[in-house]
Every structure is written in structure tokens, then in C-alpha cells.
Structure 1
Amino acid sequence: MKKLYVTMKVFGFLIVGGMATSCNDSFMDRYPIAEVSPENSFKTARDLELYTNGFYENLPAIKTIIEKDLTTDNVLYTNIPVEQRSDDRTIPSDVGSGGWSWGDLRTVNLFFDHYKQCTDLVARDKYEGIARFFRAWFYFDKVKRFGDVPWYETVIQTGDKDLLYKPRDNREFVMDKIIEDLELAIDKLDNKRASDQVNCWTALSLLSRVCLYEGTYRKYHTELNLQGSDVLLEKAYKAAERVMNESGYKLYSTGNVDTDYRDLFASSDLREEEVILGRRYSLILNKMHNINYYFTSRTQKDIGLTKDFVDSYLLQSNGKPFTSKSNYATMGFYEEMQNRDKRLAQTIRSVGYKRIGDNAIQLPDFAATMTGYQVSKFVSDVSQDGDGASYQDIAIIRYAEVLLNYAEAKAELGLLTQDDIDKSIKLIRNRVGMPNLNMGDANQSPDAIMAAMYPTVTGTNKGVLLEIRRERRIELALEGFRWDDLVRWRAGKLLEPHFTGMYFPSLGEFDLDNDGKIDLLLYKEGNEPQSNASQKVKIGGVIQLTGGDKGYLIGFKDNKKKFDEERDYLYPIPMGDILLNDNLVQNPHW
């Protein structure tokens, strides 16, 4: 039975937060405090609980998380995102647009301005910890997007001109404040595990994410001359290690290597043993989303995973790269799906794919995916296929990420051992019956294709670091991490090539799953032959083949793609905000 949401526990006085928050507000706006008299609204533990419950609505929704991957090399869909079209990017004009919004922060800071009115010191500590977690969450998003940002820890009043017109604080200062908030939250929060509530394990997990991000950002963005990378990476692995050693979380597994990974994301209830923080949805409470519709409907974005991403899945039998096979690049769909990491068949519609609760075998729907690699991760049974009819819960922080953070941070520091791999990467692979990562083998013979993707990875741990990056890309696919990973690794150039899908040696008819039936016809406009194929795809216009009459499915082949290494790792500040505040300086090269 699904729990009721903490986010639904809203009391009358929470109108404070509701009136105060607007996702498009400029930081120049202020709370209508006089209307609700917050001086009288933070007196009891119950007041603090009800107010901080509202913060959970600031967590990303399932569609927001998934769509973040649409900016990356994992996905091809019905548009080229602006992040991959440097020459077409523009500076937002409206105040508070483009992510430069501060309403959520004001809601949190209102708490800090008034929570000490409560005389219950135990409650004050607990809810202060929750508020610090959410302030850290807010600012981490802002630093990732803009770099330097102004730090505020109180509600700005109209007369606070020094705050209203302050310049941006430097990145190092703001990151120190984020870490300070999280470390204080860890000390103040309890250790009771609950996947829809913030506790000390949630804060520790976020600390590991924050410090890994910033530590690697400073290491690989050498042009910025940022200091303290190793200190941050040490904090990252030590925070992860505490969760691993003390929390009791583990990876969700029933022992079924063919379905456990799938079920983790398609479940209508958070898998509490793995999900450290999640967001709940409910049919009963009419708290719904549209993820099934998003991935199965022919009227949405035709999302397909890319050939490059699919190629990254290892061979199941021996854990070697799929790309080590001599003919990997020109395999048909049936052949390339054989003997692969079982997460592949639980992420896309592979050969023999069946919907949850249905015994019918289904092929990829080429009218709903541009690449042929149709997403099945997150997709539940057909009863939830309507627009706004899905109610799978979504994991926002899960234990598998903590394990990956631990392994990567130690590898970056040169401290990783095979024992560390055995208690992190091995556990993730065990769930799907994959061979363990052998550190010595990886470092002795780094994957050449991975090495070409990430040329800045060097040193004695080169091979194992590349494999950890592979593992992260696969395990966390479509969970909103890939863009952040490319940014922190300074790997934006991976966004420049035109992404492709399945390979076809010619136009004509194809038996995709080798069952003796023709499943697909590829033809050019004006030259459609007679065919009994169940699906027909016209080649030309948006969808083409890379070689004209053969090759990989490709979209927008004639459109220019570009990533500006000097500019595009940060987003621009809206022009309206810069005009309002002379002390705001635009990000470099915008």
C-alpha cells in the first residue's frame, strides 16, 4: 500500500510558501509576509513540520528528471536541443527566466528567519536539518547551471539594497556554503530510513554527489584554475562510505536478473531498500504523470537511445566490450541484442520484449522512436498508457549512485583497490548477473573507444576510471545524470556528432527478431514497394540513413551541431536581470 505523501500534508498557514514562491520570480521580489504574519506561524513542532513538508514539492518531477537526458548523447528525439546548437543559443531576455529564479530559495530562507520562534529545541534541530538540505539542493542546481551565484540566507526586503544589488559570489564560496549546509544537516537529522523523507542518509548521499561533481569539475576544468579538487573527492568517497557502512541500504534484488532492474523503475511503490529519496505518485490521490504515454505514444518526442549508447553495454558472458567484436558496427538488431548486459533488455525494447503484465512479444515501434532503440525503462503495464495516467514512483537518490560515487572518487584520487570495486561496482553488476570489473585487467588494457571519448583521463587508473564512467552511464540511464557528468568531465565535445540509431545494410524488408516474419520496410518516398511488413518507415527528410541507401538511422543530418568549449558549460544570465542589477556580470563569452 503506497504511503500518503509528505508533500500532501499541507496546513492553512502554508499559504506563506505558496504565495511567496514563483518559478519565474526575480530575486528582486519579496514575500508578502505582512499578509500571513509568519511571526505567528513557526511556534510549534507541528508548524515547522507542516512548513518544511512544502519543500518536497521543489524536488524534480519524473518527467523533469528524464528530459534532462534529452540534452545528451544518450538520446535522439524530434529536435536538436539548444545545448547542442551553440550558434543558435541566445540569452534569455525576461527577468527570472532561463533558470535564474529564486522563489524556492525565499521559501526556505523564510523558515530560517522565523524557525527559532519554536521553543522545542529537538524539533528546531530536525527541521533546520531539512531546510539546510533543501537550501543545499537549490544552490547546487544553481552552481551547476551558472557557476558563480549570489548567496542569500535570509529573505530580502525591499530596503535591502546591498542584497538586492549584490554581485555574484564566487563558485568556491557558494560550494563551501552548500557543503556547510549539508554537514550541519547530517548532524541534525535522524537516521530513520524513509524513502520520501529527508534524513541523515539523504544528506550524506547528496554530499557525496555534490563533492564528486565539484571535485571532478575542478580537476578537469583546468582552464578555471580552481583549487581543492582532492579535498572534495575525499569528502565524496567518505560520505558515500558512511552510507555504505552504516545506513543499511542495499540494492533492490529478488535474484531475478532479467527483471529486477526493470521493476525498480516500473514499480508503483518505491523500493525502500534502495531508494534513499524518491517522489511518490498515486492513482488514489490523483497524483499522476505521463511517462508511459511519453515513451509509447506516437505523438510525443519519438525518443530513441543512440547507437553509441547501446554499444556501450558490455557482453554478458565475459564482461568484455561489445565493441571488441569485429563486426559490431554493422550488426542487425537481432544479432546485436545477443549476449549483452541484461540492463540493455530492461532499458529498451530488445528481442523478445514483453510489456509488464502481458505475454505478447513486442518489437520497437518505429513510429515512437527515431533510432529504433525504444525506451522501456520506467514503462509499466498498459493500464497506465494514457496521457497523465501513470503513477510509478520515481527514485531521485538511490543506493546504486552512492556506490558509483564511492568508486569514482577513490579512483580519481588513486586510492581505489579491487576490494573497493568488490563492494561497489560488483554489487551493481551482481543484480543483473554481470561479471565483476577487474581493476588490473582494465588498467592494463583500457578500452580504446572509451579512451577516445574521454582523452583527459590519464594515469595508472585510466582503464578502471573509463569503466566506472561506462558503468555510470548504463546504470543511471535516463535518470538525469548524463548532462552533469559530461559537464564535470569537460566532455562537451561528445555532443557535437550527429547521433544515430540502428544499422541497416540497405533499404527494403527486414526480419528484426529472426522469427521468420517481415517486421519492417524501409523505403524512399515515391518508391514504396508492396510489402506485408507490420511497420513501414519512409527514409528522407528528417529521418535518413547515413549512407543514403544504407547505414545508420540518423535525424537532422543536414543541421549544424556545435558545442563551444569556452562558453557552453554554463548557461547565460537573463538580460533583464543584468539590466536591473549593474553588479551582475554575464558568464564568459555570452
Structure 2
Amino acid sequence: MKKYSLILMTFILLVFIGCDDFLDRPSLTEMNDDNYWTSENNVRLFSHGFYENYFVGYNVAWGTAYAPLRGYYFSDDFTSRGKQGGFETQAPSSRASTSSTPSMETTYAGPTWNFSWVRKSNLYLDRIDGMKGSILNDESYNHWSAVARFFRGYEYSRLVSVFGDVPYYGRVIEDSELDTLYKDRDDRTMVMDKVYEDFEYVLENMRTSDGNAQYLNRYIAAGFISRFMLFEGTWQKYHMNNTAKANKYLQQAVKAANIVMSSGKYSFTSDFRSLFGSQDLASNKEVIMYRHYDAALGVTHHVASYSNLTEGQGTAPNLALAKAFICNDGKPYQLSTVENADKLDLSNMIATRDPRFEATFWDAPMKESATLLYADKFIDRIGPTLYGSSYPPMYGSNTNTNDAPVMRLSEVVLNWIEAKAEMATMSGAAVTQADLDASINAIRQRPLDAVATEKGITPTAPLMLNAIPDDPERDTDVPALIWEIRRERRMEFVYEHSRLLDIKRWNKINYMKASENPDIMRGLWIDFQTEFPEWLVEEKEGVLKVAKENGTIVTYDGTNSAEMVGYFVPESIAERDIFTDRVYLAPIGNAQISEYLDKGYTLTQTPGWN
């Protein structure tokens, strides 16, 4: 969105400002609620005020909320030194916010208890209603109503993913309506049925183009709808055993994804790395929506600098994540016939795994990573090669200008195939080979860039319905096909929005427990004498450790360099605090409950957090 940031700055200048008291005269030069809603262009401009909150991309400056790598780092894929970051252990004193700045609860990958964006979307819809017929014709009215309803559905989808039951407001509530303002939480299924209705309206009424390809349109909206409905459909299946609602939401996920996939507008013509490190994504046919950065406009970010090898990655990729990457023959490493597929050191994994492994991680151990495995995914191929020298602004500090993909075709097709596979387990139509070819196999056929080709990287073999791998590590309650679809998501979305929300909706938060998943506490196999001898020094005595295949820990003592071969053990590592299933949903702040009580009303705490 090349004009995105400039539009936002313009919008801020036009925020409604109340009139001063001088003779009660309305201003002739300032925009306010009484004189703003006079043209479709103003309606369009108002919509851009939502973009920064919902289409965050790499955020801006030092902002981390909803930014890949810097915001999404809490899951079973990543490990830190010392004691692992944990879930909260008690309800917070307050969880409310009225800020319009994007705000994210890291351990829930979603917003705080903030309904200001719901109110804004309801106000937007109300003002659009007032323009029907006089200013907006039927087509314009339907489109802008769809835009407002999309943002309302977006916000409620996120709130429900964090808190479960939340109060639903389908219109602007006046300050005098205390019974409504202070009503208790509505059942999540009731709320998501309302969201479903909003999204149905969006899919039928939003324009396929609003003039600029990066303005919100039906294809962009449909991509997000496939995300949110996949989440809720699988939540209903795995947490609530409600197959009727699961099917309803999953069917909408498929419908939304089909709108994108059947449009003919998008295709897998980009190499993987270019999706994240390019200075301009305008011509990338895999990117449905992106955020453009421009130093001349003062709109920059810092995500590339944390991929440049110099900046530390304190929460870094672990062995569990690395093991999940499929080999290039399309099989998990335990079943693969690729030479050295069972050797889990960095060089052999780069040579034998799906190309996304090489495109996601640097090809040598790096001390800047807590696990020595460094993710350089969110920068171009040149940036990391400057390690040890000075970086130009595009690679350092908070002055990075590579574009951020906001919605990608790969997510849409993976949402689509997973929703279809889940419905197939609930008496739906069986997944076909054509379905796999249009989704997972289309992704695997992406072109490789010159760097990967020079390293001898080869594309991964297609997933064949008559030869689904039976991974020995597969959970027994997950069919082999769904297991492989989940693997594909894990490889595709490293450090992006997906992983924590995925394991939550699948009811698999136990993956975060090292007692059940010990590989989350380890790095790759490493021979320190040959791969990283600079750490075989006096200051690492008693600190540097490796774990052998049988679990034996070997500590470096200054004389046993030859024994320092095994899975890297991050320094002073310790398991996170014990947690229970209550962490699937966030507690409300005590202050919010007290506020209700002060007004004579009751706000119910999230189950398990009383």
C-alpha cells in the first residue's frame, strides 16, 4: 500500500474536533461529526483509520504488536536462555485499554479488553446508514456497510480468540444505557454467529476493487475471513465438541478462500524469501495485501534489523521446530530416504529439508541466537552478508524499509485445505488429490531464488493422497492428512501470526510443556570443535552444554572439547512454570470486575481465573 501511511497521517489531521465555546458557532475549517459525512470520499478516508490497527505488517519504528519475529515469539517453536517465558499465573490488576494504538497480549496473540474499535465500527456503520439514498447509492451503501461490518467482525474475532465470551455490541451504545454498557459477557458462539452474519454480508457486498489494489476489497477481506472462520470452526470442534457450529464456520472459511483462489488474480510465482525482504511487493502475485514502507514519508520499521545476524534473537528457533520440517522427498526425516536426512546438524538440514528451511534460517551457528539457530527470514539476501560491518538504514536500527506481506495466498490455500480436511472428519466430502495440488503442492512448487539454487536446494516432492506419510511422531488423535497440513503451516509461518493460535485452537497447548515435548528445550545437533570452536574457551567452562541422543548432558570443562558434540543446550535453561488449560483464554482484570460492581452490575471472570 504505497499510499497507506500518507493516508493515515491525513486522516489524523481530519479527526473530529469538537467546536470551541465561542458563540457556539461550528468551525468552517475543521471537520467534525456534523459536517464530515457528506461524500463517499470522506467515507473512504474514515475507513483508512482502521488500517494501522488491523493491517499492521511489520508495525512502525520500534513497535512490536502483531509484528512477525518481534511480536509473535511465544509458542512451542521458540526457546530462550534461562527460565522459559511463561503464561500468567493470576488475573491482572487491569486489562482494559481504550488506546487506538495496536496493542497485543503476547501470550494470547491478541488484543486487550478494549471495545473502542467495536464502537468505532458501529459508529461507522451508523453514519453510513444515515447517508443511504441521499449521498450513497445502493452499490456504494452496500460496499461501505460491508467495510464497517468487516472491521467489526475482525475485532470480535480477535477478542473471542483471547477471552472467549465477550459482551456483544451491534450498535452504538449511549452513555445513558447503563444496562447495556455494563451487561455481562455473551456466549462466544452467539458472538461468532453475529460475526458470521457480518462476514456473509462482506463476501456478498464488498467491492472486488475500490480503485487501488491495496484498499480493502473483497479478496483481502475473504483472506482474513478464511483465517478467522478456520480458527473458530476448529475451536468449536476441539474445545466444545460442537460439530454443527464447527461445520458452519469451516464452510464459511472454505467459501471465503474459494473467492480468492478462483479469482485468477494470485499465484505462486515468487520465491519464499522475496515475500519478506523485498523493498516493493506491488508486483508480487502471491501477496494479496501488503504494507509499504517509505523512509521519505518517515514510515519505517525494525524487523529486518532483528534478522541481520547482529541483533540478538533472545527467543530463538528450537529443535522441535527444526525437526518438523519435511525432507525434500516429502517425508519426515525418520522415514526419508534422502542421504543424511537423519543428521540433525545445520548443514545437513539445509541440504535435505524443504526449501523454506534454508530460506528461513542462516546457514551457520550464530552466537546472537539463544539456540544458535538464527532466523534471517525477514530481510533480503544481501543484509545478512554485511555481518561484521556497518549496515545501511534499510538493514539496521528502526529505519528498515522492506515491505511486509499482510495477507498471502499461501495462508488462504492452507486455511482452505485444513477446513476441508476437518469437515471430512465430520461427514463432509473427502479431500481429493486435486485439493492437495491446489494448496500444499502449489506452495511446494514455488520457484527458488539464485542463492538457494547455488546451494543445491531442491523443491519438495508433492503430497500424494495415496501415500500420506505416517510420521512416527504424529499424535494418535490426529489423522495423518491433517497432521501433514498442520506441518505445512508450521513450515510456512515461522515467527508469523499463526503458531500459538494454531496450537490453541487444536487444543494442543501441552506442546508448550517441556516435560511432554523435551525438544523445545534444545537447539540443533552441533560439533563444537568443527562448527563453532570459538566457544571452546575458558569463559564457557561450566556453562556450555550439549545433550547426547540418550539424554546425557555433557558440560564443557576446558579439557573435553572432543566430547562437545550433541544437541545444543541453551545457557542456564529451565522449564517454564507449570500451567493448566485455563491459559487457553485470558482473564479479565480485577479493575474491570470492580468497575462493574461499582455500577451495580456483574462481570463474570474467565473460567479458571477466579
Note whether the superposition's TM-score is higher than 0.5.
yes
Equivalent positions of 1:512-551 (< 5 A) are 512=531, 519-523=532-536, 527=538, 538=540, 544-546=545-547, 547-549=553-555, 550=564, 551=566
* 1:586 alignment partner in structure 2: 605
Shift in alpha-carbon separation, 1:168–1:336, aligned structure 2, 3 A = same
* 1:341 alignment partner in structure 2: 354
Q: Residue 356 of structure 2: SS of its match in structure 1?
A: coil
* 1:25 alignment partner in structure 2: none
Aligned length: 521
Q: Residue 360 of structure 2: SS of its match in structure 1?
A: coil
Contact 1:303–1:370 under 8 Å retained in 2: yes
2-structure distance, mates of 1:544, 1:197 = 52
* 1:470 alignment partner in structure 2: 487
Amino acid at match of 1:170: D
1:51 is the counterpart of 2:73: no
String of CA shifts for 1:373-411, please: whole Å, max 9, x gaps.
Answer: 111111134332221121111112111111111111111
2-structure distance, mates of 1:472, 1:18 = 48
1:495 positional shift: 0.7
% identity of equivalent residues:
29
2-structure distance, mates of 1:80, 1:289 = 29
* 2:183 alignment partner in structure 1: 166
Shift in alpha-carbon separation, 1:12–1:434, aligned structure 2, 3 A = closer
Q: Residue 407 of structure 2: SS of its match in structure 1?
A: strand
Q: Residue 501 of structure 1: SS of its match in structure 2?
A: coil
Contact 1:429–1:436 under 8 Å retained in 2: yes
* 2:378 alignment partner in structure 1: 378
1:17 positional shift: 9.6
1:44 positional shift: 1.1
* 2:158 alignment partner in structure 1: 141
Q: Residue 277 of structure 1: SS of its match in structure 2?
A: strand
* 1:365 alignment partner in structure 2: 366
2-structure distance, mates of 1:77, 1:278 = 30
* 1:76 alignment partner in structure 2: 79
1:227 positional shift: 4.7
- TM-score, normalization: structure 1? 0.81
Amino acid at match of 1:403: V
Which of 289, 305, 308 in structure 1 is aligned with 2:317? 305
Contact 1:91–1:573 under 8 Å retained in 2: yes
Shift in alpha-carbon separation, 1:392–1:246, aligned structure 2, 3 A = same
1:347 positional shift: 0.4
1:447 is the counterpart of 2:471: yes
* 1:532 alignment partner in structure 2: none
Q: Residue 545 of structure 1: SS of its match in structure 2?
A: strand
Which of 569, 574, 580 in structure 1 is aligned with 2:589? 574
Q: Residue 426 of structure 1: SS of its match in structure 2?
A: helix
* 2:235 alignment partner in structure 1: 217
* 2:226 alignment partner in structure 1: 208
Shift in alpha-carbon separation, 1:132–1:589, aligned structure 2, 3 A = same
Q: Residue 379 of structure 2: SS of its match in structure 1?
A: coil
2-structure distance, mates of 1:521, 1:42 = 66
String of CA shifts for 1:186-239, please: whole Å, max 9, x gaps.
Answer: 2221112855321111222222212211111111114x7575112222222232
1:289 is the counterpart of 2:315: no
Which of 498, 509, 517 in structure 1 is aligned with 2:529? 509
1:268 is the counterpart of 2:268: no
**175-184 vs 101-110, greater mean Cα deviation:** 101-110
Shift in alpha-carbon separation, 1:80–1:134, aligned structure 2, 3 A = farther
1:192 is the counterpart of 2:209: yes
1:553 is the counterpart of 2:568: yes
**401-410 vs 10-19, greater mean Cα deviation:** 10-19
1-structure distance, mates of 2:422, 2:407 = 22
Shift in alpha-carbon separation, 1:126–1:446, aligned structure 2, 3 A = same
2-structure distance, mates of 1:342, 1:570 = 35
Gaps of 5+ in 2: 20-29, 59-63, 98-104, 106-111, 384-391, 425-429, 448-458, 515-519, 548-552, 556-563
Q: Residue 427 of structure 1: SS of its match in structure 2?
A: helix
Gaps of 5+ in 1: 20-34, 254-259, 351-362, 513-518, 529-537
Equivalent positions of 1:420-499 (< 5 A) are 420-431=435-446, 433-442=459-468, 445-449=469-473, 451-452=474-475, 455-457=476-478, 462-497=479-514, 498-499=520-521
2-structure distance, mates of 1:475, 1:588 = 33
Which of 36, 44, 67 in structure 2 is aligned with 1:41? 36
2-structure distance, mates of 1:277, 1:478 = 18
* 2:90 alignment partner in structure 1: 90
Contact 1:303–1:375 under 8 Å retained in 2: no
Amino acid at match of 1:545: V
**122-131 vs 469-478, greater mean Cα deviation:** 122-131
Contact 1:220–1:456 under 8 Å retained in 2: no
String of CA shifts for 1:256-309, please: whole Å, max 9, x gaps.
Answer: xxxx11111111122542222222211221200001222336554434211111
Contact 1:14–1:54 under 8 Å retained in 2: no
1:109 positional shift: 2.1
2-structure distance, mates of 1:221, 1:175 = 15
1-structure distance, mates of 2:588, 2:175 = 22
Amino acid at match of 1:470: R
* 2:451 alignment partner in structure 1: none
String of CA shifts for 1:518-547, please: whole Å, max 9, x gaps.
Answer: x533337xx36xxxxxxxxx3655x74341
Contact 2:219–2:260 under 8 Å retained in 1: yes
Q: Residue 265 of structure 1: SS of its match in structure 2?
A: helix
**2-11 vs 561-570, greater mean Cα deviation:** 2-11
1:2 positional shift: 4.6
Amino acid at match of 2:533: L
String of CA shifts for 1:236-266, please: whole Å, max 9, x gaps.
Answer: 223212321135221233xxxxxx1111111
* 2:125 alignment partner in structure 1: 112
Contact 2:2–2:291 under 8 Å retained in 1: no
1-structure distance, mates of 2:504, 2:265 = 32
Shift in alpha-carbon separation, 1:421–1:219, aligned structure 2, 3 A = same
2-structure distance, mates of 1:225, 1:190 = 33
Contact 2:327–2:333 under 8 Å retained in 1: yes
Contact 1:522–1:539 under 8 Å retained in 2: no
Shift in alpha-carbon separation, 1:565–1:489, aligned structure 2, 3 A = farther
Contact 2:17–2:32 under 8 Å retained in 1: no
Contact 2:362–2:373 under 8 Å retained in 1: yes
Contact 2:223–2:257 under 8 Å retained in 1: yes
1:54 positional shift: 0.9
Q: Residue 371 of structure 1: SS of its match in structure 2?
A: coil
